[in-house]
Structure 1
Amino acid sequence: MTQIKLIATDVDGTFLNSQRQYNHDRFDDQLTRLAAVGIRFVVASGNHLGHLHRVFAPTPAVQTFVAENGSLIVNQGETLFETVIPNPIVNQVVTAILADDHLRPQVLRLSGAHGTYINRRDHPTDEASQDYFFNNIVRVDDLTQVHDTIYKINGEWPNETIQALAAKLNARFPGQIHATASGFGSIDIVAPHMNKAIGLMQLAKSWGLRKEQVAAFGDNDNDREMLEHVGLGVAMQNGTKSVRDVADLITPTDNDHDGVLNVIDAILAGEV
């Protein structure tokens, strides 16, 4: 019998396939079986909450979200925990990034409680992807004049540079932020010492669960801490080397072949 009582998963590159889809019927059946044996299911993503609601609308039994790389935790529509970046730090980081030709991204966004803010002069490389990931865009003239609760700063850079740039940002603002590559040419900047692992374990503790009872799936650098700090860290076969290196298990199949769902079946069968 498995000791796992909580399963958490990243979304893009992990739970979703390359067409940004998942097997609704199979997953819905799994949710029923998970609930029957007392295993909770949690979405742990760098994305904002509105996007996650839209992705999982076909399976409404999914009601727990560790969003914004751990900065916002919502269960059954109730905000349980939130960790924000203070507005003075947001303005300092935004000003510094935009003033430095070596740091300036194609697009810079602020992910807030009431919208995702973007300078009206910025144009993403892929407008369709922006429309997919951000269904709450608010265009402004100056990001430093945004007055909202800010969970995350997000930027687009060439994909091959994001690990090095994330390290440079952390060195530039020590103790003020935590920057992490989230894949697809994107870097997420959250409050210092915040990541998916912190958010997920905060949630697990509130439910009286130990880390040994938690399994988590991920594919990219912003999943690394989460996989390191749970009882069963599962890296996707298609994941980055840095994530696969810290995992307890690598999925036998990739995200285009139900990698997460196959391991969930193995957990339910007591094989993992």
Structure 2
Amino acid sequence: MTQIKMIATDVDGTFLNDQRQYNHQRFAAQLDRLKAANIRFAVASGNHIGHLHKIFAATPAVQSFVAENGGLIVDQHQTLFEAPVPTDVAHAVVDALMSDDSLRPQAFRLSGAHGTYVSRDSKPLDLDAQNYFFNNLVTVDDLRDVNDTIYKVNGEWPHGSVQHVVDQLNTRFAGQVHATPSGFGSIDIIAPHMNKAVGVTQLAKSWGIDPSEVAAFGDNGNDKEMIAHVGLGIAMRNGAEAVRNVADLVTPTDNNHDGVLDVIDAILAGEV
């Protein structure tokens, strides 16, 4: 088997348990062991960079982030790569969704370089979750008036209707955006041909690492390309079936029982 030189992990439903926590002490010890073994560690998430810094503040050795589903890569506080959605395209997506009652989201946000812009009439499915995931909220009357570098358009729909919206968006805006389910009734709409696989590959190459030497963990639709692309794709036991189907390995335990940390131990021990 190819030697693993980099580990990348999704956050929600993967690295974090359902209480949005992780074992700080155990993970900090693993980071020391990974460094000694010359194995790089990175976070690969659909979340914005400020939120990721907040999550990993307890383990400050984590300094490599593939944020916004690959649309922004930050390593050691330096931006290595970004792929924003063109402003006119982001506004066109907003217009299409707001003008079609069958596609209109309950909550609507633009993730930008200087804030996460939320429509004043948004009705998030879970207000506490919105306040948790987006700690840089800026309320606006019309998202089509936002002028910022936009990494992602994000919306929330009732569970069950998400894939229909994804398919509609990818057909209507083919070659302009890439829509992907991101869990909890949410969809991320990002730059075309962009996903976590692209972002993780970009970061790995900056370190002289081939994708075949990367292990990656994930649980949801926006992890599927990454899991399928890397040398060792690892799906969470609690993950979506579509992700488990493309994985090389399914974690023996779920996100509530240190599933990621257990497999990292196995990687360090040369058992996988």
**TM-score in terms of structure 2 length:** 0.99
Tell me the secondary structure at the aligned position of residue 176 of structure 1. Answer: coil
Query: Is 1:182 aligned to residue 189 of structure 2?
Result: no
For 1:215 and 1:7, the matched residues in 2 are separated by 5
**Structure 1 residues 97-146: Cα deviation after superposition (integer angstroms, max 9, x where no partner):** 10000110001100000000011122212110000000000001111110
Any conservation in 2 of the 1:72–1:83 contact (CA below 8 Å)? yes
Any conservation in 1 of the 2:214–2:232 contact (CA below 8 Å)? yes
For 2:147 and 2:265, the matched residues in 1 are separated by 45
Any conservation in 2 of the 1:2–1:268 contact (CA below 8 Å)? no
Q: Which amino acid in structure 2 is aligned with residue 61 of structure 1?
A: A
Q: Which residue of 1 aligns with 2:259?
A: 259
Q: Which amino acid in structure 2 is aligned with residue 227 of structure 1?
A: I
> Which runs of at least 4 in structure 1 moved beyond 4 Å after TM superposition?
none
Tell me the secondary structure at the aligned position of residue 95 of structure 2. Answer: helix
Q: Which amino acid in structure 2 is aligned with residue 197 of structure 1?
A: A
- Any unmatched runs of 5+ in structure 1? none
For 1:123 and 1:181, the matched residues in 2 are separated by 19
Tell me the secondary structure at the aligned position of residue 152 of structure 1. Answer: strand
Q: Which residue of 2 aligns with 1:152?
A: 152
**Structure 1 residues 60-79: Cα deviation after superposition (integer angstroms, max 9, x where no partner):** 00000000000000001000
For 2:230 and 2:149, the matched residues in 1 are separated by 29
Any conservation in 1 of the 2:2–2:212 contact (CA below 8 Å)? no
Number of residue pairs the alignment of both structures matches: 272
Q: Which residue of 2 aligns with 1:78?
A: 78
For 1:214 and 1:225, the matched residues in 2 are separated by 13
1:227 Cα shift? 0.4
For 1:19 and 1:2, the matched residues in 2 are separated by 35
Tell me the secondary structure at the aligned position of residue 110 of structure 1. Answer: strand
Any conservation in 2 of the 1:159–1:183 contact (CA below 8 Å)? no
For 1:87 and 1:174, the matched residues in 2 are separated by 16
Query: Is 1:220 aligned to residue 242 of structure 2?
Result: no
**Structure 1 residues 189-213: Cα deviation after superposition (integer angstroms, max 9, x where no partner):** 0000000000110111111111111
Query: Is 1:10 aligned to residue 44 of structure 2?
Result: no
Any conservation in 2 of the 1:2–1:267 contact (CA below 8 Å)? no
Q: Which amino acid in structure 1 is aligned with residue 253 of structure 2?
A: T
For 1:224 and 1:179, the matched residues in 2 are separated by 13
How does 1:202-241 map onto structure 2 within 5 Å?
202-241=202-241
Q: Which residue of 2 aligns with 1:26?
A: 26
Q: Which amino acid in structure 2 is aligned with residue 236 of structure 1?
A: M
1:2 Cα shift? 6.7
Q: Which amino acid in structure 2 is aligned with residue 262 of structure 1?
A: D
Q: Which residue of 2 aligns with 1:142?
A: 142
- Any unmatched runs of 5+ in structure 2? none
Moved more, 157-166 or 65-74: 157-166
Q: RMSD between aligned alpha carbons?
A: 0.9
Any conservation in 2 of the 1:63–1:75 contact (CA below 8 Å)? yes
For 2:42 and 2:178, the matched residues in 1 are separated by 23
Q: Which residue of 1 aligns with 2:35?
A: 35
For 2:3 and 2:125, the matched residues in 1 are separated by 44
Tell me the secondary structure at the aligned position of residue 256 of structure 2. Answer: helix
For 2:122 and 2:53, the matched residues in 1 are separated by 26
